[in-house]
Amino acid sequence: MRSEQPAILWFAGMVMKKTVEVAEGGGGGNRCGDFAPRRVEFITPRLTLPVSVTGRECALNCAHCGGYYLRGMAGLEEALGRRGRGSRSFLVSGGCNLQGRVPHRERWAELKALALRGSLNFHPGLVEAEDAAAIGEIAQAVSFDFMADEDVIKKVYGLRATPDDYIRSYRYLRRHCRVVPHICVGIMRGRIESEYRALKMLHHEGAAAISFIVFRPTPGTAFADFAPPPPEEVAELLASARALFPETPLYLGCMRPGGKHREKLDCLALQIGIDKIVLPSAPAKRLAAQIGLEVTYGEECCAL
């Protein structure tokens, strides 16, 4: 425990410093005295089945993903069949079309049937007002990729869209259901650039919770040879978020690098006061016990 104490104090100081900066800038309250994290939820989402409404198909071939992660998802037919048995909830995702939208409405009858089997967390991409209203009828939550930089949107997703398009979709969705914006830290070739701008935009818009995922090099993609952002840089962004959103639940999501990177980042996130960590590393579990955190456990997607 003593070996962890300097890091705890250093990151406590970081959060307090950033809280003061936010307060002096008129962006949030000063809660320095309430910094010390008291509890955390560790999540192993074994009861949430990821589902793709497009199978392995995606029109965008994004530079960081390339459709790779669709391969591990169940098809909608499978989710409604034997593979979906035992699941309490479903992450409803899929590949995007050339407009950056996941075509959920094309499978709507099946999705309504799936909603009778368990809770739905939609991952929709960009939406129009009517899409958001429909999603709100059957979804318990929406995981929304929040983008704050037009250059990132163009170079990573290949879309002719702007941050205003993402804000418009975010507002549509929030009218109808609980939305958890996701920020992919280091999405631009492992560099942290527009993520701080995204935090400021979300502070203006409001957020029920925020989930942070971290760029990981993925085989066969345009960004496969780029390294993820260093854990310390990710942690500094998380500290800024904690200062800017002292009352908002902050999550460290499932998509992030493994190995030593995960071990270090998870421990730093605990010290900053992240509320949920999905698939936590063993060192993070030990640290939580060492510093006396109250630990609860979840078995579904962090957005639910």
| Average pLDDT value for residue range 130-156 | 97
Residue 289, pLDDT above cutoff 50: yes
Residue 7, pLDDT above cutoff 60: no
Residue 136, pLDDT above cutoff 60: yes
- What is the reported pLDDT for 36? 65
- What is the reported pLDDT for 34? 52
Residue 26, pLDDT above cutoff 90: no
Residues 214/184, Cβ–Cβ less than 8 Å: yes
- What is the reported pLDDT for 11? 54
Residue 15, pLDDT above cutoff 60: no
- What is the reported pLDDT for 17? 56
Residue 219, pLDDT above cutoff 80: yes
Instruction: Give percent of the chain with pLDDT exceeding 90.
Output: 87
| Average pLDDT value for residue range 70-82 | 96
Query: For 166-176, how does the pLDDT look when each residue is reduced to its tens digit (9 = 90+)?
Result: 999 999 999 99
| Average pLDDT value for residue range 64-75 | 94
| Average pLDDT value for residue range 212-239 | 97
5: pLDDT confidence band, cut at 50, 70 and 90? very low
User: To the nearest whole number, what is the mean pLDDT of the chain?
Assistant: 91
CA dist 283 and 265 (Å) reads: 10
Reference 251, options 200, 202, 181; nearest CA is 181
- What is the reported pLDDT for 172? 98
Domain boundaries in the chain?
A: 2-298
Reference 227, options 181, 254, 191, 200; nearest CA is 191
* Residue 89 parent element (H or E): strand 89-93
Within the chain, residue ranges assigned H as helices are 5-24, 76-80, 108-115, 129-138, 150-152, 163-174, 195-205, 231-244, 259-272, 282-290
Residue 222, pLDDT above cutoff 50: yes
Residue 187, pLDDT above cutoff 80: yes
| Average pLDDT value for residue range 184-199 | 97
Lowest mean pLDDT among 10-14, 42-46, 180-184: 10-14
Residue 250, pLDDT above cutoff 50: yes
* Residue 216 parent element (H or E): none
Which distant-in-sequence residues (6+ apart) come within 8 Å of 224 by Cβ? 217, 218
- What is the reported pLDDT for 37? 80
- What is the reported pLDDT for 18? 55
Q: Which CATH class is domain 2-298?
A: alpha beta
In this prediction the pTM is 0.89
Residue 267, pLDDT above cutoff 90: yes
Which distant-in-sequence residues (6+ apart) come within 8 Å of 271 by Cβ? 7, 8, 11, 12, 37, 287, 291
- What is the reported pLDDT for 31? 39
Q: Nearest 5°: phi and psi at 252?
A: -105, 105
Instruction: Give percent of the chain with pLDDT exceeding 70.
Output: 88
Residue 10, pLDDT above cutoff 60: no
